[in-house]
Amino acid sequence: MKRIGILTSGGDCAGLNPAIYALAKSLYGKIDNLQLVGILDGYTGLIEGRVRELVEADFEGLIEEGGTFLGSIRQSFKTIDIKDENGSSKADKMVKNVALLQLDALVVLGGNGTHKVANLLAERGVNIVALPKTIDNDIFGTDETFGYNTATQVGVDYIERIRTTAASHSRVFIIEIMGNKVGWLALSTGLASGADMIILPEFPYSVDKMTADLQAILKKKNYALVVVSEGAFSKDEKKLKNKERLQVRQELGFRTISEKLAHEIESELGIQVRTAMPGHALRGGTANAYDRNYTLQLGAYAADLVADDVFGVTVAKVKGKITHNQLKAIAGKAKPVTDVNQKVLAARSIGISFGD
Ligand code: F6P
């Protein structure tokens, strides 16, 4: 008998349930006497020992479901190995519970933070396989994470609706897209929706350049769409640490980068600007056909790894091929948008401004 735990951690996205569906279906076909154990609410459930014994019927229909039926709570990596008053850290508790629950292996679906914790658990002897999910597409070593394609589609559908009202009223719209550390989602969404300007954290913008470019755009047409990534900042703000930057903005009355940009444009160009953001809708709902197909491949590959006792790894797509990376080789590494990225080159080539 083999007992395999499954958990989803961090922010949810479309594709989590389809990935679990593929993983489970594939595992049932490969391992006799299999018991799958759902760990509830991510690493929090593992720390607290909250689980649900699963049966094959639990996975039926998951291909079409959004969210995660196991639940997910964020756990900060910074606090994961800090000892409490009894001398035990969250990591210690997880390792202990893996043994108490008699789990032969653990499959975790998550983003960067999840992968860092997975690597720590692997170093402590837990047999672990990870799967790369996040709308942010920022896991090092994989061409693409699942959830990203669906989120791009949601963002594009949203911006298309903004476009018609922007054109009707001759307005400038700033559309803020999730992505705190990296701008992949704003980039792909902006490109696919024909944005005039895309502002990313990787390319700090200059207020003068951004407003001058916008003025030039408004000479050619009556409206403009500016897509901005949640974590973007100006060249002036570059020297500030994240916390300081947010504090300075708060003091100025801006809760979001789109509010700040709107203010800068309004005061420089004397025009009215509207802001809009799809927010968590980018993460919600069911996966599109692309992400369903993708997660099926990732989930089935993860099942192979578990069946073959290959642990301490994460599933990845490299140059179009499903493969795996060692957790220790990718955990904690960043995958920012770069100047030489082909989407960026294409954007600059067709005249999209990054305001930089
Ligand atoms: O990591 C995914 C993500 O959606 C980011 O793009 C965003 O910055 C963050 O999660 C929002 O997290 P929360 O759900 O905690 O508001």
The ligand 1 atom at the shortest distance from the C-alpha of residue 111 is: 1
The first and second tokens of residue 67, run together, are 């969210």
Q: Which residue has the CA at smallest separation from atom 15 of ligand 1? A: 11
The ligand 1 atom at the shortest distance from the C-alpha of residue 230 is: 8
Task: Record the pTM.
Answer: 0.97
**How many Å apart are CA 142 and CA 120, to the nearest integer?**
20
Burial 156-179 (b: 16+ CB within 10 A, else e): bebbeebbeebeeeebbbbbbbbb
Q: Which residue has the CA at smallest separation from atom 2 of ligand 1? A: 11
pLDDT digits (tens, 9 = 90+) for 156-172: 999 999 999 999 999 99
**How many Å apart are CA 160 and CA 41, to the nearest integer?**
35
The ligand 1 atom at the shortest distance from the C-alpha of residue 185 is: 6
What confidence category does residue 271 fall into, taking pLDDT thresholds of 50, 70 and 90?
A: very high
Test site for ligand 1: of 72, 112, 135, most ligand atoms within 8 A of the Cβ: 135
15, amino acid identity: G
Ligand 1 mean position to 348 CA, how many Å?
A: 28
Ligand 1 surroundings by CB, under 6 angstroms? 11, 111, 134-136, 178-180, 230, 283
Test site for ligand 1: of 77, 136, 148, 185, most ligand atoms within 8 A of the Cβ: 136
Domains recognised in the chain with CATH numbers: 2-146+287-330 (3.40.50.450), 152-283 (3.40.50.460)
**How many Å apart are CA 314 and CA 302, to the nearest integer?**
8
DSSP state of 129: E
Ligand 1 mean position to 230 CA, how many Å?
A: 10
pLDDT digits (tens, 9 = 90+) for 173-231: 999 999 999 999 999 999 999 999 999 999 999 999 999 999 999 999 999 999 999 99
Average of per-residue pLDDT across 247-260: 97
Residues annotated as catalytic are 136
Ligand 1 mean position to 178 CA, how many Å?
A: 7
pLDDT digits (tens, 9 = 90+) for 107-127: 999 999 999 999 999 999 999
Test site for ligand 1: of 13, 180, 255, most ligand atoms within 8 A of the Cβ: 180
Residue 104 to residues 41, 94, 214, 313, Cα–Cα distance (Å): 20, 14, 57, 15
As a whole number, the mean pLDDT across the chain is 98
**How many Å apart are CA 231 and CA 203, to the nearest integer?**
11
**How many Å apart are CA 241 and CA 308, to the nearest integer?**
45
pLDDT digits (tens, 9 = 90+) for 62-81: 999 999 999 999 999 999 99
Closest CA to 139 of 315, 322, 20, 7: 315
pLDDT digits (tens, 9 = 90+) for 134-159: 999 999 999 999 999 999 999 999 99
**How many Å apart are CA 37 and CA 42, to the nearest integer?**
12
Closest CA to 23 of 45, 1, 38, 44: 38
